[in-house]
Amino acid sequence: MKNTNLYYFKKKGDVKPIDLVPLSGATVCVDSKMKREHTFELYSPGMDKLFYVQASTKEELNSWIQALEKACFTVGTPFNVKQKIHVDFDSATGFEGLPPEWEASLKSSGITKNEVIAESGVVLDVLKFNDKLKNKNTPAGGPREDEYAPMPATESTLSLKDLVSDPSRKDLFTNLERLGGGASGEVYIAYWEEKKIQVAIKTIPINKENNILLCTEINFMKSSIHANIVQFIDSFIVDQRNLWVVMELMDGGCLTDVLEQFEYINMDESHISYVCLMTLRALNYMHTSHRIHRDIKSDNVLLNNKGEVKIADFGYAAQLTQERTFRHTVVGTPYWMAPELIRGQDYGVKVDIWSLGIMLMEMLESEPPYLEFPPLRALFLITTKGIPPLKEVHKYSPELVNFYSMCLEKDVEKRAT
Protein backbone atom coordinates (compact mmCIF):
# COMPACT_ATOMS: atom_id res chain seq x y z
CA MET A 1 0.00 0.00 0.00
CA LYS A 2 1.41 3.38 -1.01
CA ASN A 3 -0.27 6.76 -0.58
CA THR A 4 -3.86 6.23 -1.77
CA ASN A 5 -3.27 3.12 -3.88
CA LEU A 6 -3.19 -0.58 -3.04
CA TYR A 7 -0.83 -2.65 -5.23
CA TYR A 8 -1.25 -6.39 -5.62
CA PHE A 9 1.16 -9.04 -6.90
CA LYS A 10 0.95 -12.48 -8.48
CA LYS A 11 2.92 -14.11 -5.66
CA LYS A 12 4.85 -13.19 -2.54
CA GLY A 13 8.30 -11.83 -3.31
CA ASP A 14 7.42 -10.33 -6.70
CA VAL A 15 8.64 -6.76 -7.21
CA LYS A 16 6.37 -5.83 -10.12
CA PRO A 17 2.66 -5.49 -9.27
CA ILE A 18 -0.08 -6.92 -11.47
CA ASP A 19 -2.24 -3.84 -10.96
CA LEU A 20 -3.23 -1.19 -8.45
CA VAL A 21 -6.51 -0.45 -6.66
CA PRO A 22 -7.35 3.26 -6.09
CA LEU A 23 -8.59 3.70 -2.52
CA SER A 24 -10.29 7.09 -2.78
CA GLY A 25 -13.85 6.61 -1.51
CA ALA A 26 -13.27 2.90 -0.88
CA THR A 27 -15.56 0.92 1.40
CA VAL A 28 -14.82 -2.19 3.42
CA CYS A 29 -17.32 -4.83 4.52
CA VAL A 30 -16.55 -7.43 7.19
CA ASP A 31 -19.05 -10.30 7.15
CA SER A 32 -18.95 -12.77 10.04
CA LYS A 33 -20.60 -15.46 7.88
CA MET A 34 -18.07 -15.44 5.04
CA LYS A 35 -16.88 -18.97 4.26
CA ARG A 36 -13.22 -17.96 4.47
CA GLU A 37 -12.00 -16.83 7.88
CA HIS A 38 -10.51 -13.35 8.43
CA THR A 39 -11.77 -12.13 5.04
CA PHE A 40 -13.16 -8.74 4.09
CA GLU A 41 -14.66 -7.15 0.99
CA LEU A 42 -12.97 -4.08 -0.50
CA TYR A 43 -14.96 -2.03 -3.00
CA SER A 44 -13.09 0.52 -5.12
CA PRO A 45 -15.43 3.08 -6.75
CA GLY A 46 -12.53 4.19 -8.97
CA MET A 47 -12.49 0.76 -10.64
CA ASP A 48 -16.10 -0.15 -9.81
CA LYS A 49 -14.79 -3.52 -8.64
CA LEU A 50 -15.20 -5.66 -5.53
CA PHE A 51 -12.13 -7.43 -4.11
CA TYR A 52 -11.93 -10.13 -1.43
CA VAL A 53 -8.89 -9.95 0.85
CA GLN A 54 -8.00 -12.74 3.30
CA ALA A 55 -5.73 -12.19 6.29
CA SER A 56 -4.03 -14.97 8.22
CA THR A 57 -5.24 -13.85 11.68
CA LYS A 58 -7.81 -11.58 13.26
CA GLU A 59 -4.99 -9.24 14.30
CA GLU A 60 -3.78 -9.03 10.71
CA LEU A 61 -7.35 -8.35 9.56
CA ASN A 62 -7.59 -5.43 12.00
CA SER A 63 -4.21 -4.14 10.81
CA TRP A 64 -5.47 -4.20 7.22
CA ILE A 65 -8.54 -2.17 8.13
CA GLN A 66 -6.51 0.37 10.10
CA ALA A 67 -4.08 0.78 7.20
CA LEU A 68 -6.93 1.19 4.70
CA GLU A 69 -8.59 3.74 6.96
CA LYS A 70 -5.38 5.75 7.09
CA ALA A 71 -4.95 5.61 3.30
CA CYS A 72 -8.52 6.67 2.62
CA PHE A 73 -8.49 9.41 5.23
CA THR A 74 -5.48 11.18 3.71
CA VAL A 75 -7.45 12.04 0.57
CA GLY A 76 -10.21 13.73 2.55
CA THR A 77 -12.95 11.20 1.87
CA PRO A 78 -15.02 9.34 4.46
CA PHE A 79 -13.89 5.81 5.20
CA ASN A 80 -16.78 3.41 5.49
CA VAL A 81 -16.35 0.07 7.27
CA LYS A 82 -19.52 -1.99 7.20
CA GLN A 83 -20.18 -4.91 9.50
CA LYS A 84 -22.71 -7.33 8.05
CA ILE A 85 -24.94 -8.70 10.80
CA HIS A 86 -27.23 -11.69 10.34
CA VAL A 87 -30.27 -11.50 12.61
CA ASP A 88 -33.18 -13.93 12.64
CA PHE A 89 -36.58 -13.32 14.16
CA ASP A 90 -38.59 -15.81 16.18
CA SER A 91 -42.21 -14.75 16.70
CA ALA A 92 -42.25 -16.43 20.10
CA THR A 93 -38.96 -15.26 21.55
CA GLY A 94 -37.89 -12.21 19.52
CA PHE A 95 -34.50 -11.69 17.86
CA GLU A 96 -31.78 -14.28 17.54
CA GLY A 97 -28.22 -13.51 16.52
CA LEU A 98 -28.05 -9.93 17.75
CA PRO A 99 -24.52 -8.65 18.45
CA PRO A 100 -23.92 -8.61 22.23
CA GLU A 101 -23.84 -4.81 22.40
CA TRP A 102 -27.17 -4.57 20.54
CA GLU A 103 -28.71 -7.14 22.86
CA ALA A 104 -27.51 -5.19 25.90
CA SER A 105 -28.92 -1.95 24.46
CA LEU A 106 -32.27 -3.61 23.78
CA LYS A 107 -32.49 -5.08 27.30
CA SER A 108 -31.87 -1.69 28.90
CA SER A 109 -34.10 0.25 26.49
CA GLY A 110 -37.48 -0.36 28.08
CA ILE A 111 -38.83 -1.79 24.80
CA THR A 112 -41.03 -4.72 25.81
CA LYS A 113 -41.02 -8.23 24.35
CA ASN A 114 -44.53 -7.66 22.98
CA GLU A 115 -43.36 -4.48 21.25
CA VAL A 116 -40.41 -6.35 19.75
CA ILE A 117 -42.75 -9.03 18.40
CA ALA A 118 -45.29 -6.50 17.09
CA GLU A 119 -42.76 -4.07 15.58
CA SER A 120 -39.71 -6.23 14.85
CA GLY A 121 -38.74 -4.29 11.72
CA VAL A 122 -38.85 -0.95 13.51
CA VAL A 123 -36.90 -2.28 16.50
CA LEU A 124 -34.17 -3.63 14.23
CA ASP A 125 -33.98 -0.29 12.37
CA VAL A 126 -33.71 1.55 15.68
CA LEU A 127 -30.92 -0.79 16.85
CA LYS A 128 -29.01 -0.23 13.61
CA PHE A 129 -29.55 3.50 13.92
CA ASN A 130 -28.37 3.54 17.53
CA ASP A 131 -25.22 1.66 16.50
CA LYS A 132 -24.52 4.19 13.72
CA LEU A 133 -24.98 7.07 16.15
CA LYS A 134 -22.07 5.72 18.17
CA ASN A 135 -19.91 5.68 15.03
CA LYS A 136 -21.23 8.62 13.05
CA ASN A 137 -20.25 8.79 9.40
CA THR A 138 -19.06 12.01 7.88
CA PRO A 139 -22.13 13.79 6.53
CA ALA A 140 -22.97 14.85 3.03
CA GLY A 141 -26.28 15.79 1.50
CA GLY A 142 -28.94 15.76 -1.20
CA PRO A 143 -32.20 17.55 -2.09
CA ARG A 144 -35.44 16.27 -3.45
CA GLU A 145 -37.35 19.40 -4.49
CA ASP A 146 -37.21 20.39 -8.17
CA GLU A 147 -38.16 24.04 -7.73
CA TYR A 148 -34.84 24.99 -6.17
CA ALA A 149 -31.92 26.55 -8.03
CA PRO A 150 -29.70 24.16 -10.04
CA MET A 151 -27.54 21.93 -7.89
CA PRO A 152 -23.76 21.85 -8.13
CA ALA A 153 -22.65 18.85 -10.15
CA THR A 154 -20.25 17.41 -7.59
CA GLU A 155 -19.28 17.76 -3.95
CA SER A 156 -16.23 19.77 -2.97
CA THR A 157 -13.17 17.91 -1.66
CA LEU A 158 -11.34 20.87 -0.16
CA SER A 159 -9.00 20.12 2.72
CA LEU A 160 -8.94 22.06 5.98
CA LYS A 161 -5.70 23.80 4.99
CA ASP A 162 -7.38 25.00 1.77
CA LEU A 163 -10.08 26.73 3.81
CA VAL A 164 -8.19 28.54 6.56
CA SER A 165 -6.14 31.75 6.64
CA ASP A 166 -2.49 32.25 7.52
CA PRO A 167 -2.02 31.47 11.24
CA SER A 168 -0.31 34.84 11.77
CA ARG A 169 -3.75 36.47 11.55
CA LYS A 170 -4.55 35.17 15.02
CA ASP A 171 -2.47 38.07 16.37
CA LEU A 172 -5.24 40.44 15.22
CA PHE A 173 -7.48 39.02 17.96
CA THR A 174 -6.51 39.98 21.51
CA ASN A 175 -7.78 39.95 25.11
CA LEU A 176 -9.16 36.42 24.94
CA GLU A 177 -11.53 35.59 27.78
CA ARG A 178 -13.04 32.13 28.14
CA LEU A 179 -16.84 31.98 27.87
CA GLY A 180 -17.30 28.24 28.17
CA GLY A 181 -16.53 24.93 26.57
CA GLY A 182 -17.11 21.23 26.43
CA ALA A 183 -15.96 18.02 24.79
CA SER A 184 -15.70 19.59 21.33
CA GLY A 185 -13.66 22.65 22.30
CA GLU A 186 -13.58 26.03 24.02
CA VAL A 187 -15.31 29.34 23.26
CA TYR A 188 -13.68 32.70 23.96
CA ILE A 189 -14.66 36.34 23.65
CA ALA A 190 -11.90 38.43 22.02
CA TYR A 191 -11.20 41.91 20.66
CA TRP A 192 -10.70 42.32 16.90
CA GLU A 193 -8.13 45.07 16.42
CA GLU A 194 -8.95 45.71 12.73
CA LYS A 195 -12.66 46.41 13.26
CA LYS A 196 -12.52 47.51 16.90
CA ILE A 197 -15.27 45.08 17.90
CA GLN A 198 -15.68 42.04 20.13
CA VAL A 199 -15.93 38.63 18.49
CA ALA A 200 -16.35 35.00 19.51
CA ILE A 201 -13.56 32.48 18.91
CA LYS A 202 -14.20 28.74 18.99
CA THR A 203 -11.05 26.64 19.46
CA ILE A 204 -11.28 22.99 18.45
CA PRO A 205 -8.58 20.30 18.67
CA ILE A 206 -8.02 18.76 15.22
CA ASN A 207 -7.93 14.99 14.97
CA LYS A 208 -8.58 12.26 12.43
CA GLU A 209 -12.16 11.81 13.59
CA ASN A 210 -13.30 15.44 13.26
CA ASN A 211 -11.19 16.68 10.34
CA ILE A 212 -13.89 16.25 7.70
CA LEU A 213 -16.62 17.67 9.95
CA LEU A 214 -14.46 20.75 10.49
CA CYS A 215 -13.97 21.13 6.74
CA THR A 216 -17.75 20.97 6.34
CA GLU A 217 -18.35 23.56 9.04
CA ILE A 218 -15.77 26.05 7.74
CA ASN A 219 -16.86 25.65 4.12
CA PHE A 220 -20.51 26.18 4.99
CA MET A 221 -19.92 29.12 7.30
CA LYS A 222 -17.72 30.88 4.73
CA SER A 223 -20.30 30.48 1.98
CA SER A 224 -23.47 31.08 4.04
CA ILE A 225 -24.16 34.80 4.16
CA HIS A 226 -27.57 35.54 5.62
CA ALA A 227 -29.03 37.78 8.32
CA ASN A 228 -30.16 34.74 10.32
CA ILE A 229 -26.94 32.73 10.11
CA VAL A 230 -24.06 33.50 12.47
CA GLN A 231 -21.47 35.46 10.48
CA PHE A 232 -18.13 33.80 9.82
CA ILE A 233 -15.13 36.13 10.15
CA ASP A 234 -11.94 34.08 9.89
CA SER A 235 -10.28 30.76 10.71
CA PHE A 236 -6.75 29.47 11.10
CA ILE A 237 -4.81 26.49 12.41
CA VAL A 238 -2.74 27.21 15.52
CA ASP A 239 0.27 25.05 16.50
CA GLN A 240 -0.72 22.51 13.82
CA ARG A 241 -3.31 20.96 16.13
CA ASN A 242 -6.02 23.49 16.99
CA LEU A 243 -8.56 25.15 14.73
CA TRP A 244 -9.61 28.67 15.65
CA VAL A 245 -12.93 29.79 14.17
CA VAL A 246 -13.71 33.50 14.53
CA MET A 247 -17.41 34.47 14.39
CA GLU A 248 -19.62 37.37 15.25
CA LEU A 249 -20.40 37.54 18.95
CA MET A 250 -23.95 36.53 19.87
CA ASP A 251 -23.99 37.96 23.38
CA GLY A 252 -27.42 36.63 24.31
CA GLY A 253 -26.24 33.04 24.39
CA CYS A 254 -28.26 30.18 22.93
CA LEU A 255 -31.99 29.51 23.07
CA THR A 256 -31.31 26.65 25.49
CA ASP A 257 -30.15 29.18 28.08
CA VAL A 258 -33.59 30.79 27.95
CA LEU A 259 -35.41 27.45 28.10
CA GLU A 260 -33.43 26.40 31.17
CA GLN A 261 -35.19 29.25 32.97
CA PHE A 262 -38.57 27.90 31.80
CA GLU A 263 -40.16 28.15 35.26
CA TYR A 264 -39.36 31.85 35.42
CA ILE A 265 -39.27 32.97 31.78
CA ASN A 266 -42.16 31.58 29.78
CA MET A 267 -41.96 32.59 26.14
CA ASP A 268 -45.28 33.87 24.84
CA GLU A 269 -46.55 33.09 21.34
CA SER A 270 -45.15 36.29 19.86
CA HIS A 271 -41.65 35.38 21.06
CA ILE A 272 -42.02 31.78 19.88
CA SER A 273 -43.33 32.78 16.45
CA TYR A 274 -40.47 35.26 16.05
CA VAL A 275 -37.84 32.59 16.81
CA CYS A 276 -39.54 30.18 14.40
CA LEU A 277 -39.75 32.82 11.67
CA MET A 278 -36.07 33.76 11.95
CA THR A 279 -35.06 30.08 11.98
CA LEU A 280 -37.24 29.40 8.94
CA ARG A 281 -35.65 32.29 7.05
CA ALA A 282 -32.23 30.77 7.66
CA LEU A 283 -33.46 27.31 6.66
CA ASN A 284 -35.14 28.65 3.53
CA TYR A 285 -31.81 30.19 2.52
CA MET A 286 -30.04 26.88 3.11
CA HIS A 287 -32.66 24.70 1.46
CA THR A 288 -32.86 26.84 -1.69
CA SER A 289 -29.06 26.48 -1.86
CA HIS A 290 -29.52 22.69 -1.61
CA ARG A 291 -28.19 22.43 1.91
CA ILE A 292 -29.52 20.60 4.94
CA HIS A 293 -28.53 21.70 8.45
CA ARG A 294 -29.44 18.37 10.10
CA ASP A 295 -28.95 19.50 13.70
CA ILE A 296 -31.59 22.15 14.38
CA LYS A 297 -32.25 22.41 18.12
CA SER A 298 -32.24 25.10 20.81
CA ASP A 299 -28.48 24.69 21.44
CA ASN A 300 -27.76 25.78 17.88
CA VAL A 301 -30.02 28.86 17.81
CA LEU A 302 -28.18 31.93 19.12
CA LEU A 303 -29.47 35.30 20.33
CA ASN A 304 -28.00 38.76 20.82
CA ASN A 305 -28.95 41.94 22.66
CA LYS A 306 -30.37 43.44 19.45
CA GLY A 307 -33.07 40.78 19.45
CA GLU A 308 -31.56 38.94 16.50
CA VAL A 309 -31.94 35.17 16.14
CA LYS A 310 -29.36 33.20 14.15
CA ILE A 311 -28.56 29.55 13.58
CA ALA A 312 -25.07 28.13 14.08
CA ASP A 313 -23.09 24.88 14.20
CA PHE A 314 -22.71 23.60 10.66
CA GLY A 315 -20.67 20.52 11.54
CA TYR A 316 -23.48 18.25 10.31
CA ALA A 317 -24.67 20.38 7.41
CA ALA A 318 -24.59 18.98 3.89
CA GLN A 319 -24.06 20.30 0.38
CA LEU A 320 -26.55 18.73 -1.96
CA THR A 321 -25.42 17.80 -5.46
CA GLN A 322 -26.80 16.30 -8.64
CA GLU A 323 -24.93 13.13 -7.75
CA ARG A 324 -26.60 12.87 -4.34
CA THR A 325 -30.24 13.80 -4.43
CA PHE A 326 -31.04 11.99 -1.20
CA ARG A 327 -29.00 11.34 1.89
CA HIS A 328 -28.59 8.17 3.92
CA THR A 329 -26.09 9.26 6.58
CA VAL A 330 -26.89 9.25 10.30
CA VAL A 331 -26.21 12.64 11.85
CA GLY A 332 -27.71 15.07 14.34
CA THR A 333 -29.13 14.64 17.85
CA PRO A 334 -31.46 11.67 18.61
CA TYR A 335 -34.45 13.33 20.28
CA TRP A 336 -34.73 15.89 17.45
CA MET A 337 -34.46 13.38 14.60
CA ALA A 338 -37.14 12.69 11.99
CA PRO A 339 -38.65 9.16 11.70
CA GLU A 340 -37.34 8.60 8.17
CA LEU A 341 -33.82 9.30 9.39
CA ILE A 342 -34.21 6.89 12.32
CA ARG A 343 -35.51 4.16 9.98
CA GLY A 344 -32.43 4.51 7.78
CA GLN A 345 -34.43 5.75 4.81
CA ASP A 346 -33.31 8.35 2.29
CA TYR A 347 -34.17 11.85 3.46
CA GLY A 348 -34.12 15.46 2.30
CA VAL A 349 -34.57 18.99 3.60
CA LYS A 350 -37.75 18.13 5.50
CA VAL A 351 -35.70 16.59 8.32
CA ASP A 352 -34.89 20.21 9.29
CA ILE A 353 -38.61 21.03 9.44
CA TRP A 354 -39.19 18.08 11.79
CA SER A 355 -36.35 19.26 14.03
CA LEU A 356 -37.84 22.76 14.03
CA GLY A 357 -41.10 21.21 15.24
CA ILE A 358 -39.24 19.53 18.10
CA MET A 359 -37.57 22.85 18.93
CA LEU A 360 -41.04 24.41 18.98
CA MET A 361 -42.05 21.76 21.51
CA GLU A 362 -38.98 22.75 23.57
CA MET A 363 -40.19 26.35 23.62
CA LEU A 364 -43.71 25.31 24.63
CA GLU A 365 -42.91 22.57 27.15
CA SER A 366 -39.20 23.14 28.00
CA GLU A 367 -37.91 19.82 26.59
CA PRO A 368 -38.15 17.51 23.57
CA PRO A 369 -40.53 14.51 23.61
CA TYR A 370 -39.75 11.25 25.37
CA LEU A 371 -36.77 12.72 27.23
CA GLU A 372 -37.81 10.68 30.28
CA PHE A 373 -37.09 7.44 28.39
CA PRO A 374 -33.76 5.84 27.43
CA PRO A 375 -32.68 7.04 23.95
CA LEU A 376 -33.43 3.69 22.27
CA ARG A 377 -37.02 3.63 23.52
CA ALA A 378 -37.43 7.30 22.60
CA LEU A 379 -36.35 6.51 19.04
CA PHE A 380 -38.76 3.57 18.96
CA LEU A 381 -41.64 5.76 20.13
CA ILE A 382 -40.84 8.57 17.69
CA THR A 383 -40.93 6.05 14.86
CA THR A 384 -44.02 4.07 15.91
CA LYS A 385 -46.16 6.58 17.82
CA GLY A 386 -44.97 9.89 16.45
CA ILE A 387 -44.87 12.95 18.68
CA PRO A 388 -47.42 13.20 21.52
CA PRO A 389 -49.95 16.05 21.48
CA LEU A 390 -49.15 19.19 23.43
CA LYS A 391 -49.93 18.85 27.14
CA GLU A 392 -51.85 22.12 27.36
CA VAL A 393 -53.03 22.53 23.80
CA HIS A 394 -55.93 24.77 24.92
CA LYS A 395 -53.44 27.50 25.88
CA TYR A 396 -52.29 28.03 22.31
CA SER A 397 -53.80 29.56 19.21
CA PRO A 398 -55.17 27.31 16.44
CA GLU A 399 -52.47 28.71 14.13
CA LEU A 400 -49.66 27.61 16.44
CA VAL A 401 -51.16 24.15 16.97
CA ASN A 402 -51.59 23.73 13.22
CA PHE A 403 -48.00 24.82 12.58
CA TYR A 404 -46.80 22.34 15.22
CA SER A 405 -48.73 19.52 13.52
CA MET A 406 -47.48 20.44 10.04
CA CYS A 407 -43.85 20.36 11.17
CA LEU A 408 -44.23 17.02 12.97
CA GLU A 409 -46.15 15.13 10.30
CA LYS A 410 -44.74 11.59 10.10
CA ASP A 411 -45.64 11.31 6.42
CA VAL A 412 -42.79 13.14 4.68
CA GLU A 413 -44.92 14.01 1.66
CA LYS A 414 -47.50 15.75 3.87
CA ARG A 415 -44.94 17.52 6.07
CA ALA A 416 -44.52 21.25 5.59
CA THR A 417 -41.54 22.58 3.64
Q: Which of 408, 416, 276 is nearest to 349 (CA)?
A: 416
Q: Could you state, in order of their start, the residue ranges of all structural domains in the chain?
A: 5-83, 85-134, 160-248, 253-407
pLDDT for position 67:
77
pLDDT for position 284:
96
pLDDT for position 319:
45
pLDDT for position 144:
40
Exposure string of 62-85, with b = 16+ CB inside 10 Å and e = fewer, is: eebbeebbebbbebbbebbeeeeb
Rg over alpha carbons for the chain, rounded to the nearest Å, is 24
| pTM to 2 decimal places | 0.69
Q: Are strands 242-248 and 197-205 parallel, antiparallel or unpaired?
A: antiparallel
pLDDT for position 140:
32
| DSSP secondary structure of 217-284 | HHHHHHH---TTBPPEEEEEEETTTEEEEEEE--TTEEHHHHHTTTTT----HHHHHHHHHHHHHHHH
pLDDT for position 71:
63
pLDDT for position 359:
95
Which residues belong to the annotated binding site for ATP? Answer: 202
Q: Are 23 and 72 in contact (CB under 8 A)?
A: yes
CATH match of 253-407 with 3.40.109.10: no
Other CB atoms within 10 Å distance of the CB of residue 26: 24
Which residues belong to the annotated binding site? Answer: 202
pLDDT for position 314:
66
Pick the CATH number of 85-134 from 2.40.10.480, 3.40.640.10, 3.90.810.10, 1.20.950.20: 3.90.810.10
Q: Look at phi and psi of residue 97 and say left if phi exceeds 0, alpha if psi is from -120 to 50, else beta.
A: left
Summarize pLDDT for 76-94 with one digit per residue, the tens: 334 455 555 555 666 655 6
CATH match of 160-248 with 3.30.200.20: yes
Pick the CATH number of 5-83 from 3.40.50.2300, 2.30.29.30, 3.50.50.60, 2.40.50.140: 2.30.29.30
Tell me which residues are annotated as active site: 295
pLDDT for position 232:
92
pLDDT, averaged per 10 consecutive residues of the chain (417 residues), comes to 77 80 74 70 74 83 75 44 56 69 84 86 86 56 40 55 85 90 80 93 84 79 91 90 91 90 87 98 92 88 95 62 40 77 87 96 92 88 92 95 96 93
The SS3 of residue 124 is: helix
